[in-house]
A = this chain, B = another copy of it.
């Protein structure tokens, strides 16, 4: 049985059960066994994280940055072996994905975070010299991170965006790996630990548990030794953790579910065939397993709409069913499709599990008219995580505005149209109220690691619309508290106020 990363060492887990990764391309177990930690392990990592948080108060920001950069260097050197295991555990291709896109993104995030760690700007130092009051953002304390299944590197709890942000903001991290990626997480954690040791970080700065019982997860979230929590994953999991955090008034940052509506105006439908390529490509990218995958496409009815639907149906039918990340994703997708069918959608393509050795579901295109959509708007906004999208056919563009007003909090909302189209201004305004990122004439799947990015939005997309999970330095603010120093001599102030 594999060891867990506790307080600077690989140690035997206190565990009474084990997990093993499943290769989703053939549904068979792969790699070594890994422990599901008992509560005793949770206690140990939380104690160590608390001690590390105190020790980190005396670590220079340059040294902190060195750690993140050293980790990035390590990943660069070991990229191939890590991506090989990640491929086995997720079915995501080494190329064009893990090795040439996701790993470079992961490395870039760590380096951007390193630069942000040294930069005082995002800490917002404010001086009132007359009154001798000074304030800035300071580290919040131990951060518990739950990583998702769909980005084994760039969002992994031990290497991804939340990790980079929490560390760069000056906090120790307890990573709860995704149980479907224990081997990948192990390899990443080895590199993190090596970098931490070489750069003189406190022992408990990075720790990792492969898996824990859900009830222990809730207990950890509520424990006073944890200062903040980050979670990327399903709405069900996220809301359970949120309830535990809310109960004790603790910040929790969630990136949960989002239907990412795409509105196509009549002017865009004129080039329907080209658009159907673009839309189908975005819907089916990585088998639709992106947080920003378009689950809903809204079009005005007519000849061009019919042509678009035909082209989309053909595209969904012709592309092979992609491999899903796990049996859980497959079964959740089945339930979502059942719910949508129950709510009245018409299946244009797919709609059932694919015949395959892999976990796979046929590319599924659905249709409904706007009147029926509005009559059952909650059920019809069920996220179908996977290669499935619903097209809502409206009476006209005015009708599309009515749909837009009912969209639940979403990460993104896109509009395709011309600047002069009558619906363009009102639609953009409405969508800005419900989505964290409004996009014109572009599909939502790409999430650039840009300082201007918002990978966030109103609930249920996330737990708080003020914060973003992607984009440095903004993402670091989630793991900070506001600290004020009143009549305090300079020698007592944090570096950014001196």
Contacts and interface: CB of A to CB of B under 8 A. Distances in A.
Interface of A: 54, 57, 124, 126-128, 131, 133-135, 137-138, 140-141, 242-243, 246, 248-251, 409, 412, 419, 424-425, 428-429, 432-433, 436-442, 448, 450-454, 456, 458-460, 463-468, 471, 474, 477-478, 480-489, 491-492
A452 B133 contact: yes
Contacts of A439: 486-488
Contacts of A465: 140, 251, 481-482
A436 B491 contact: no
Of A140, A242, A437, most buried by chain B (CB within 10 Å of CB) is A437
Nearest to A245: B246
B450 A133 contact: yes
A43 to B, nearest CB: 18
A150 to B, nearest CB: 21
A481 B485 CA distance: 27
Given A57-B429, A429-B57, A459-B248, A437 B486 contact: yes
Contacts of A463: 249
5 contacts: A128-B452, A134-B452, A141-B433, A439-B487, A452-B484
B466 A436 contact: no
B441 A487 contact: yes
B489 A482 contact: no
Contacts of A454: 135, 482-484
A481 B458 contact: yes
Contacts of A246: 242-243, 246
B442 A487 contact: yes
Contact of A488 (B137, B440, B481, B484): B440
A480 B454 CA distance: 14
A386 B128 CA distance: 31
B425 A492 contact: yes
Given A442-B487, A474-B482, A492-B425, A128 B451 contact: yes
Nearest to A456: B482
Contact of A482 (B450, B468, B485): B468
Contacts of A450: 128, 131, 133
Contacts of A428: 488, 492
A249 B460 CA distance: 7
Nearest to A458: B481
A467 B466 CA distance: 11
Contacts of A133: 448, 450, 452-453
Given A134-B452, A135-B454, A452-B126, A436 B249 contact: no
Contacts of A452: 126-128, 131, 133-135, 484
Contacts of A485: 432, 437-438
A466 B477 contact: yes
Contacts of A128: 448, 450-453
Given A452-B133, A453-B133, A436 B486 contact: no
Given A248-B459, A481-B458, A491 B453 contact: no
A492 B423 CA distance: 12
Contact of A466 (B433, B456, B481): B481
A456 B484 CA distance: 9
A55 B198 CA distance: 57
A430 to B, nearest CB: 9
A255 to B, nearest CB: 12
A459 B57 contact: no
Which are the 9 A-B pairs with shortest beta-carbon distances?
A249-B459, A454-B484, A465-B481, A246-B246, A128-B452, A437-B484, A133-B452, A128-B450, A126-B452
A432 B137 CA distance: 11
Given A54-B429, A128-B448, A249-B463, 18 more contacts: A57-B429, A135-B452, A140-B465, A242-B246, A243-B246, A249-B460, A251-B465, A424-B492, A425-B492, A428-B488, A436-B481, A437-B484, A437-B485, A437-B486, A438-B485, A438-B488, A453-B484, A466-B481
A463 B250 CA distance: 8
A242 B489 CA distance: 37
Contacts of A460: 249
A487 B440 contact: yes
A426 to B, nearest CB: 10
A436 B489 CA distance: 17
A131 to B, nearest CB: 5
B440 A489 contact: yes
Nearest to A129: B452
B436 A484 contact: yes
A480 B436 CA distance: 12
